[in-house]
Amino acid sequence: MMRPGAPLAPTWVWQLLQSPEVCCAAIARSPADPFPRYGLAMEHKTRGELAEAWAQFEQLIQAFPTYVPSYLMAGGTLVALGKKDEAAAIYRQGIEVATKAGDQHARRELESALGELAPV
């Protein structure tokens, strides 16, 4: 089922954002695809399961260090966990990855998030 105004995407993409079970099955089906693990991390974050969300983001970054979207959300999860120093390190790492990928939009978002942290 598509949301009004949503871009066309396979049904499993929308399910992925709603169910950890579907995320895990998608990870098993497509272990070389970072998106299902990102979806799982985001689902945990949305549910307020921050420690589990961070564990998934950490695995995602280790397995797919060039997957730019993971860094902003991973850093935000660390901020929510009260780990600002670690968040700053993740944001800095993400800025480097985004710069190498030529993703200036993500780089600016990461720089902004880093700037919002108290000096660390």
Q: What is the pLDDT of residues 72-98, one digit of tens each?
A: 999 999 999 999 999 999 999 999 999
* Tokens at 61, concatenated: 């970054």
> What global pTM score does this model have?
0.79
Q: What is the pLDDT of residues 1-11, one digit of tens each?
A: 334 444 444 55
DSSP H helical ranges for 2-118 = 11-16, 20-29, 34-46, 50-63, 69-80, 84-101, 104-116
**Topology given in CATH for the domain delimited by 11-116:** 1.25.40
Residue appearing with tokens 């978002």: 109
Write down the pLDDT at residue 82. 96
* Tokens at 37, concatenated: 């693990």
CA atoms within 13 A on the CB side of 112: 7
Write down the pLDDT at residue 2. 39
